[in-house]
Structure 1
Amino acid sequence: MALLLFIIVLIMMVYALRHILFTLSRLFGQQRHPYIDIDSAQWPLITVFIAAHNEEKVIAGCIEALLNSNYPADCLRIVPVNDRSADRTRDIIDSYVLAYPGRITPYHRIGGKPGKAAALKDALIHAQGDIAIIFDADYIPGRGLLKQLTSPFFDPEVGAVMGRVVPMNAGVNLLTRMLDLERSGGYQVDQQARMNLKLVPQYGGTVGGVRLSAVDAVGGWHDNVLAEDTDITYRLLINGWKTIYTNRSECYEEVPEDWTVRIKQVKRWAKGHNQVLIRYWFPFVTSSYLTLRERVDGLLLLLVFIMPPLLLIGWLLAIILYFFNEGSLVSTLIPVFALMAYGTMGNFAAFFEITIAVLLDGNRHRLLLLPLNLFGFIISLFAISSSVGSLFIDHIFKRDMVWEKTIRYRKV
């Protein structure tokens, strides 16, 4: 047990060092924004998909923002993907189709496999052009965002692009403020550092785009996963396509405003991410298209949602060793456990990454909330560990995946 505990501590230390490296890169390294300044070009035809399921509260805002984009109207196709909505989503979409003839082509899906991945797979067949930009219905893109997300595709090696997600409802309550800190650390520091260091930026499924010919070349869009974004990120990387992160390309989302919704969201992310881990870890580490640093970073990213149950196992082993009179060993490891508790969970933005992100964003007063993030950390720890167990049970009993939609809060 002592040996297993020591191995767990070493693994956690690797993640802690990874976050330190990312933080130093964001503070002192060369910041890579290779495509951000392209404003005038022969812009390609793109199709913008809006994933929508019972989105009557938010769909109008996303459509209006896209209609006000500075992307050439004759090169832009807007396709709201209405996936079996039971509210007024269809009526709202159709009202915009009538008001803006020729600019919006709705895709009303009344059957088929449930879930965002399945809906997008069906809708992508109707894309025009080789570039698909995807938004969730609660996102509000700025006027210049489509150009910023499209410009990296002038590089023929780019298969996917991801922008920065910023919460619009951060001031609602304590949870939204904590999630705002998490998003800041995850994008402002973590994603940008991976871009700086030429590691593995991740396509996030919204506020981003994919090259459809690249997706077809790697086997098409998969609808049998909960994390279609992570799935396509790794399949593209395995086959030699680059993913680009553009930190200055901001888009605004709603984050969960109550803990029940947040826990369901995190569990869905964890289950989907670990599905990708099971499928692609070996093809990824053996891909001839990747450098050693990309393989190491990509594998660490794949393992992120395995760390919570591993951490819980470490705590349990420490307690058992203590009661077996191995207290000296446990006391020696206490400083290491303190470090790994504060700095290991990549998708929750390690505390020092959050600190630097807040300082870079110019919102120093938000640092007062930093100690409270430990509370969110503990809740996510158990939620993700539960999700890992659920995935194992799903595999044994051949249970179907269940998509848990995130509730919207905006007033109609």
Structure 2
Amino acid sequence: MVTVQAGRQRLVIALTVALLLIVGLVIVYATRHYLFTLNRLFGKQRHPYLDIDIADWPTLTVMIAAHNEEAVIAGSLACLLRADYPADRLTIMPVNDRSSDRTREIIDDFVVQYPGRISPFHRSAGKPGKAAALKDATERIASNIIVVFDADYLPPVGLLKQLVAPFFDPEVGATMGRVVPMNLGTNLLTRLLDLERSGGYQVDQQARMNLNLVPQYGGTVGGVRVRALKSVGGWHDDVLAEDTDLTYRLLLSNWKTIYQNWSECYEEVPETWPVRVRQIMRWTKGHNQALYRHGWKMATCRDHNLLEKIDGVALLGIYMMAPLMLCGWLLAIALFYASGMPLLGAAIFLFALMSYGTLGNFAAFFEIAAAVYLDGSRERIRLLPLNYFGFLVSVVTVSRAIVSQIAFDFVLRRQIRWDKTRRYR
């Protein structure tokens, strides 16, 4: 009987230590969210390249990643043809990756209508996926800079100059603009995703830019210096999140990524929950690939200061927080109801459950509230409580993706499949 009691106590102690570690980690992330929010509200804002409008602009290739995009590709091409960028230095290259719909036909019609303006890259074979298509297309260009858009994006007239301007700084390897949903009025989900995007770009990305931390190249509405891209090995076609992978390869090679908060581009966000869930699954697996490849290198690199390294590792590990939070909830509940626990101990674990839930979940919501304030569209704040349901969906979906990735993709050596996000226009 004594042995059983001692074993139970050791188990309770082990579970207690695990819970406290999870609580501590969530508090670190919460502090990071609050720091970013306070910086955006009260700190000095960095927009170092905003005023560059007249310059000797470098040669530029704009790539439009397209796979079965007949619904949206015409809109993107039409916007880019109106771009305020010297036509003799601009190449518009739709990267048509194995489309089976009318995407190729639509692109070729534009080529006929605008001779000399569009140089399509039609890809009918090869490894599937956006990164593989970009890799093949990059071998055919001769420009200094690449700007990448997904096919559903509608770039404003002045966006290309804004994304290219930071490259006059020779240390800049990549740039990133702000993504703004254009179908936010469709239903509740699109409105919630609009709030999420606002928090992520208006607060999170800009604060990291302000604090000289780790702004992230986002894979679309972003530019890459060709020389920098080649110096880090080009596009890697064995990853789902080629943007996160490239962000860290550039960072670890001492190239800067610049975020331009005023450089807005408009996208479609998912309008149904199944599409949203598949998008989160893809992001999770791709982001965790980058964590496995670059996490230790980021933590131990000598070319970046301590705050940069902490932020870099925290950004890589963000998707691992979902299963940890689920484990934390279960641990706190189990310990609370464990027989023989002192009343004080039970109260402590109940407090832990409530505190890290509040600090972790609502720190991110604080970012969204600040973003709504900074955007000047305060009526949207009434939807903020409903983001909790979106948060729960994300927690479950991310945890499911990680279990699938570990149990099937790694153990069974299963090839990760690219899931294209559905279009609605």
TM over 0.5: yes
Q: 1:37/1:338 Cα in 2 relative to 1: closer, same or farther (>3 Å)?
A: farther
Asked if the contact 1:19–1:343 (Cα under 8 Å) also holds between the matched residues in 2, the reply is: no
Structure 2 partner of 1:286:
300
1:172 and 2:174 matched? no
Letter in 2 for 1:215: L
1:14 and 2:37 matched? no
| In structure 2, distance between residues paired with 1:338 and 1:207 | 39
Equivalence map 1:7-406=2 (5 Å): 7-325=21-339, 326=341, 328-344=344-360, 350-393=364-407, 394-406=409-421
1:83-116 per-residue CA deviation (whole Å, 9 max, x = no partner) reads 1111110000000000110110000000111111
Deviation at 1:288, TM superposition (A): 2.5
Identity among equivalent pairs (%): 61
What SS does the aligned partner of 2:411 have? helix
Letter in 1 for 2:207: A
Deviation at 1:330, TM superposition (A): 4.6
1:148-206 per-residue CA deviation (whole Å, 9 max, x = no partner) reads 00000011100110000000000100000000000000000000000000000000000
Q: 1:80/1:248 Cα in 2 relative to 1: closer, same or farther (>3 Å)?
A: same
| In structure 2, distance between residues paired with 1:105 and 1:128 | 12
Deviation at 1:219, TM superposition (A): 1.4
Q: Which runs of 4+ in 1 moved over 6 A?
A: none
| In structure 2, distance between residues paired with 1:188 and 1:352 | 12
Q: 1:141/1:292 Cα in 2 relative to 1: closer, same or farther (>3 Å)?
A: same
Deviation at 1:144, TM superposition (A): 0.4
Asked if the contact 1:203–1:229 (Cα under 8 Å) also holds between the matched residues in 2, the reply is: yes
Structure 2: gaps spanning 5 or more residues = 1-14
| In structure 1, distance between residues paired with 2:130 and 2:363 | 25
What SS does the aligned partner of 1:146 have? helix
Q: TM-score, length-normalised on structure 1?
A: 0.97
Structure 1: gaps spanning 5 or more residues = none
Bigger mean CA offset, 149-158 vs 385-394: 385-394
Deviation at 1:126, TM superposition (A): 1.4
Asked if the contact 2:322–2:395 (Cα under 8 Å) also holds between the matched residues in 1, the reply is: yes
Asked if the contact 1:185–1:349 (Cα under 8 Å) also holds between the matched residues in 2, the reply is: no
Bigger mean CA offset, 287-296 vs 170-179: 287-296
What SS does the aligned partner of 1:404 have? coil
| In structure 2, distance between residues paired with 1:211 and 1:349 | 35
Asked if the contact 1:188–1:357 (Cα under 8 Å) also holds between the matched residues in 2, the reply is: yes
1:346-404 per-residue CA deviation (whole Å, 9 max, x = no partner) reads xx981000000001111111111111000000011010001111111211110001000
Asked if the contact 2:73–2:151 (Cα under 8 Å) also holds between the matched residues in 1, the reply is: yes
Asked if the contact 1:50–1:79 (Cα under 8 Å) also holds between the matched residues in 2, the reply is: yes
| In structure 2, distance between residues paired with 1:206 and 1:335 | 42
Q: 1:404/1:10 Cα in 2 relative to 1: closer, same or farther (>3 Å)?
A: same
Letter in 2 for 1:402: R
Deviation at 1:344, TM superposition (A): 3.2
Q: Tell me how large the CA RMSD over aligned residues is.
A: 1.3
1:31-75 per-residue CA deviation (whole Å, 9 max, x = no partner) reads 000111100000000000000001011000100100000111111
Q: TM-score, length-normalised on structure 2?
A: 0.94
| In structure 2, distance between residues paired with 1:331 and 1:60 | 60
What SS does the aligned partner of 1:354 have? helix
The alignment of Structure 1 onto Structure 2 pairs a total of residues equal to 408
Deviation at 1:332, TM superposition (A): 2.5
Letter in 1 for 2:417: V
Deviation at 1:80, TM superposition (A): 0.1
Asked if the contact 1:135–1:208 (Cα under 8 Å) also holds between the matched residues in 2, the reply is: yes
| In structure 2, distance between residues paired with 1:323 and 1:288 | 46
Bigger mean CA offset, 398-407 vs 211-220: 211-220
Greater C-alpha Rg: 2
Deviation at 1:320, TM superposition (A): 1.4
Asked if the contact 1:182–1:349 (Cα under 8 Å) also holds between the matched residues in 2, the reply is: no
Q: 1:329/1:363 Cα in 2 relative to 1: closer, same or farther (>3 Å)?
A: farther
Asked if the contact 1:342–1:351 (Cα under 8 Å) also holds between the matched residues in 2, the reply is: no
Deviation at 1:335, TM superposition (A): 4.6
Q: 1:34/1:334 Cα in 2 relative to 1: closer, same or farther (>3 Å)?
A: farther
